[in-house]
Structure 1
Amino acid sequence: MSERPSVLFVCVHNAGRSQMAAAFLAHLSGGRVDVRSAGSEPADQVNPAAVAAMAELGIDITAEKPKVLTDQAVIASDVVITMGCGDTCPFYPGKRYEDWVLDDPAGRGVDAVRPIRDEIRRRVESLVAELLPATAG
């Protein structure tokens, strides 16, 4: 892994789960991790319920736009976390891959998105602890 770790979050539409995960990682890592997100079939916009759920925690993702998954994004990442993109995610030896099984927030209201958001946060907190272990003082 590089000195500054890089993580790519991938879901189908890059409109909900991967956007929330990327925002949490950027926020919780204090910018010490390069964060990317993409989708195998990107939507036109980020899911409004995901935007609202993140805003409740003071994290603004209104400026984010769904992006298409590219080989270059995978190559540039140390860790690739998929969330329901199946076999569409390119595989490169030497990369760390994880598949996070999470409900898709597409078409759901903010009440249904909150538990998904909270589970993503728990997983991202664990990821941050792995990627950026506290240094002994």
Structure 2
Amino acid sequence: MNTTKTRIYISGALTGIDNLDKIKAFYTAIGSLCDEIGFQSYVPHLNTDPIGHPNISPRQVFDTDKQQVSKSNLVIAYIGYASLGVGMELAYADTNAIPIILLYERGKVISRFPRGIPTVFSEIEFKDYKDALTQLESVLKQWRQQHK
């Protein structure tokens, strides 16, 4: 029996964001949901946040986050804010054939480029963070069943 937990990388903008504490709490809640379901989540701001970890160099952030994406089995990306870092993480996921779930608010205009990534298997449009987590839980449980 395979006892290795599925690793999930939680991607989301951390720079140039209004209500940064609220969005960080959302990312943390996504990670907690993943952990509760039985996955192993990696939430970047808990390890390399520009405010919480100011002494980590840009190169260390790049190396750490790239490695974490590359060894993940699934990436969940909040794309409600434009972010170069999130775009790069999605490109690494695609390059490594890692499945992606995209999250964004209903009614937001979202670039077609990330939505067209071949490894995106689910897009969740939500009305609020609670709705996002409810929909995400359903998608993750389905995904887990399909990948047992």
- TM-score, normalisation: structure 1: 0.55
- What SS does the aligned partner of 2:137 have? helix
Number of equivalenced pairs: 96
Deviation at 1:33, TM superposition (A): 0.9
The residue aligned with 2:41 is 35
Kindly provide the CA deviation profile for residues 90-137 of structure 1, in whole angstroms up to 9, marking residues without a partner as x. Answer: 42331112221148xxxxxxxxxxx63312321331233123329xxx
Comparing both structures, which one devotes a greater share of its residues to helix? 2
Q: Which of the residues 98, 102, 111 maps onto 1:99? A: 102
What is the CA–CA distance in structure 2 between the aligned matches of 1:132 and 1:121, rounded to whole Å?
16
- What SS does the aligned partner of 2:97 have? coil
The residue aligned with 1:51 is none
Measured at CA, do residues 123 and 42 of structure 1 come closer, stay the same or move farther in structure 2, by a change above 3 Å?
Answer: farther
Q: Which of the residues 19, 22, 25 maps onto 1:16? A: 25
- What SS does the aligned partner of 2:43 have? strand
**Contiguous gaps of at least 5 residues in structure 2:** 15-22, 53-60, 107-126
Kindly provide the CA deviation profile for residues 39-86 of structure 1, in whole angstroms up to 9, marking residues without a partner as x. Answer: 5x83535xxxxxxxxxxxxxxxxxxxxxx5611110121111111244
The residue aligned with 2:88 is 88
- The 5 Å alignment of 1:64-83 reads 68=61, 70-83=65-78
**Contiguous gaps of at least 5 residues in structure 1:** 46-67, 104-114
Aligned alpha-carbon RMSD (Å):
3.0
Measured at CA, do residues 5 and 132 of structure 1 come closer, stay the same or move farther in structure 2, by a change above 3 Å?
Answer: same
Measured at CA, do residues 44 and 78 of structure 1 come closer, stay the same or move farther in structure 2, by a change above 3 Å?
Answer: same
Q: Which structure's relative contact order is higher, taking Cα pairs within 8 Å and 6+ residues apart?
A: 1
Runs of 4+ in 1 over 4 A off after TM superposition: none
What is the CA–CA distance in structure 2 between the aligned matches of 1:127 and 1:37, rounded to whole Å?
19
Determine if contact 1:5/1:131 at 8 Å carries over to the other structure: no
Measured at CA, do residues 80 and 117 of structure 1 come closer, stay the same or move farther in structure 2, by a change above 3 Å?
Answer: same
1:133 aligned to 2:134?
A: no
